[in-house]
Amino acid sequence: MTVLGFIRHGSTSWNKEGRAQGSSDIPLDEEGRKEALLLADRLSNESWDYLISSDLVRARETAEIIASQSKGMEVQIDPRLREVSGGKIEGTTEKERISQWGKDWRKIDVGIERQAAVVLRGMESVHDWMNKYENKKVLFVTHGGFIKIILNEMGLLLNADEHIGNTSLSCLRCLGGEYIAETLNCTNHLNEGIKANR
């Protein structure tokens, strides 16, 4: 039985400013590195076999922090795990988008990557790694929009308005081609870290 874990990267300055990141290569901020360390501490008490990351620096940095706390874990890179490309909206806030294209800007073609394309590359990546590491426990460090699309494709439907938290962990088991969720969008490690620092 293969176990998959999907992790969203730690926070960035653009997250805090409400800017669409997409394929823009934005690094973690200081809080994002602290979040990644808290997650790394949680994962170091679990037994994961492989760690695969998006090539974007915010995901790669998160993965490297996790690997640094897990003995023998190495980061492998897969560009297919990248965030949904935002086209012309990358780097903009909602206010700026409304100012430029109007409140119905979502109805305009601004070059955002189509969901079908994300599903195609994302599921291809997941299946390739599952075939390579059959019956192992595999972590994917990737992005919020990407995770939501892939989990929904797997039948683990999330509320359309649900926010995928920074360094959240979603774990599932694959049994006979069916995906069974154990944990979705879990950030308990962040709460434990806050308690520990009080």
The residues annotated with a catalytic role in the active site are 9, 83
- Domain residues for 84? 2-196
Give the contacts of 182 (CB within 8 A, at least 6 positions apart).
171, 172, 173
Instruction: Output the domain CATH number for residue 9.
Output: 3.40.50.1240
Mind listing the pLDDT tens digit for each residue in 57-108?
999 999 999 999 988 899 999 999 999 999 999 999 999 999 999 999 999 9
Q: Are 137 and 5 in contact (CB under 8 A)?
A: yes
Q: How many domains, in total, are found in the chain?
A: 1
Mind listing the pLDDT tens digit for each residue in 110-157?
999 999 999 999 999 999 999 999 999 999 999 999 999 999 999 997
3-state secondary structure of 64: helix
